């Protein structure tokens, strides 16, 4: 009887154990492979970072160029463009900057009027080229900056920059100039101030206009032609250009054709001998001589320049009329943020065969 009891007890325990094992297996059943998250969180963050870098690069170098390169051609990005995604302190700018730029004008001239360019003014920080302006201590001079690209450009070429101009009566410029200073293309030139304590006349006309133009010069005796038509002072919806970043571009297609683009829109075309050089200043044999026509137009290599200026035609007008005078006061210059030109990027493209 005792033996029978032991056998029955063993059988009961066996069945109970088997039942528990079956039940446990149901609860802890292994998930299918496609339900397992095998992603390394660190790797995922790194991949997202790469995607963000690629998106930034897309926004800068491969975003659409608004100009048409021509039949059978496409735009080729030039590596001396710059997105300013590096640090370049004013006094020690480093290789990233100096591989592409000189921190001065393209010759030893220190600037027009009250301007005094200094190498230790421009700097790169927070992904921006920044050129502030301040009063030179103990003088009436404006201490500010100018940079020049080390690679010259020549037509056909498209040059475009994204910039935020100063809230200042000072001139902000992104432009191109031939080494002999006889041919110039102004991609943008702005006087964006909201007001001027020193100027009795209203500055409202300038603050809503962007100057887009070109010059041809005779240096001796000095003569300067630039278009004077209303279209050279672009205005749209009373936009105050100082309030935001905008893109400014020019397609220098050939010696006789310029197209100006603002925020990706064609806003001005200057084309033909009578618009580019009606006074024969680019005559190859005798500049200014209208008896022969050997005009070359805008045909020379040019340096790309970004700068700030106190231009003498504004600070010391020929009329001598104080109401026509525009130059910043010490109080205005104390607003450093308002007196800093900021450039997000500048890009250059050449048309090439597809």
Q: State the catalytic residues.
A: 184, 189
Task: Give the list of residues 6+ apart from residue 157 with CB closer than 8 angstroms, or none.
Answer: 251, 252, 348, 349, 350
* Backbone angle region of 237, left / alpha / beta, with phi > 0 → left and psi within -120 to 50 → alpha: left
Spatial distance between the Cα atoms of 97 and 82, rounded to a whole number of angstroms:
9
DSSP 3-state of 42: helix
Spatial distance between the Cα atoms of 106 and 234, rounded to a whole number of angstroms:
28
Enter the tokens of residue 123: 């700097």
Short-list 56, 122, 74, CA closest to 94: 122
One DSSP character per residue, 60-103 reads HTSSPPSS---TTEEEEE-TT-B---S-B-TT---HHHHTTEES
């Amino acid at each position: 009887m005792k033996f029978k009891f032991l056998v029955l007890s063993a059988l009961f325990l066996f069945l109970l154990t088997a039942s528990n094992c079956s039940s446990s297996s149901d609860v802890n059943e292994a998930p299918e492979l496609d339900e397992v998250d095998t992603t390394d969180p660190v790797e995922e963050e790194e991949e997202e970072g790469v995607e963000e870098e690629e998106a930034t690069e897309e926004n800068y170098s491969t975003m659409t160029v608004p100009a048409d390169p021509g039949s059978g051609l496409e735009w080729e990005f030039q590596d001396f463009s710059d997105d300013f995604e590096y640090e370049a302190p004013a006094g020690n700018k480093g290789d990233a900057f100096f591989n592409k730029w000189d921190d001065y004008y393209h010759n030893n001239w220190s600037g027009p009027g009250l301007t005094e360019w200094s190498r230790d003014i421009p700097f790169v920080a927070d992904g921006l080229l920044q050129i502030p302006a301040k009063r030179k201590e103990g003088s009436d001079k404006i201490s500010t900056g100018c940079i020049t690209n080390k690679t010259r450009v020549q037509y056909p070429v498209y040059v475009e920059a994204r910039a935020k101009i100063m809230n200042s009566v000072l001139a902000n410029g992104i432009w191109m100039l031939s080494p002999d200073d006889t041919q110039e293309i102004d991609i943008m030139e702005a006087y964006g101030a909201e007001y001027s304590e020193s100027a009795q006349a209203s500055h409202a006309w300038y603050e809503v206009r962007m100057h887009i133009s070109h010059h041809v010069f005779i240096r001796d005796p000095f003569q300067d032609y630039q278009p004077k038509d209303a279209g050279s002072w672009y205005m749209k919806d009373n936009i105050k250009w100082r309030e935001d970043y905008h893109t400014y571009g020019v397609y220098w297609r050939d010696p006789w054709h310029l197209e100006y683009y603002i925020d990706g829109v064609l806003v001005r075309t200057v084309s033909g001998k009578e618009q580019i050089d009606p006074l024969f200043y680019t005559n190859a044999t005798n500049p200014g001589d209208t008896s022969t026509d050997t005009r070359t137009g805008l045909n020379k290599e040019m340096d790309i320049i970004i700068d700030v200026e106190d231009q003498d035609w504004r600070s010391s007008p020929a009329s001598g009329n104080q109401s026509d005078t525009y130059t910043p006061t010490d109080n205005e210059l104390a607003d450093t943020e308002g007196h800093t030109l900021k450039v997000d990027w500048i890009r250059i493209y050449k048309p090439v065969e597809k």
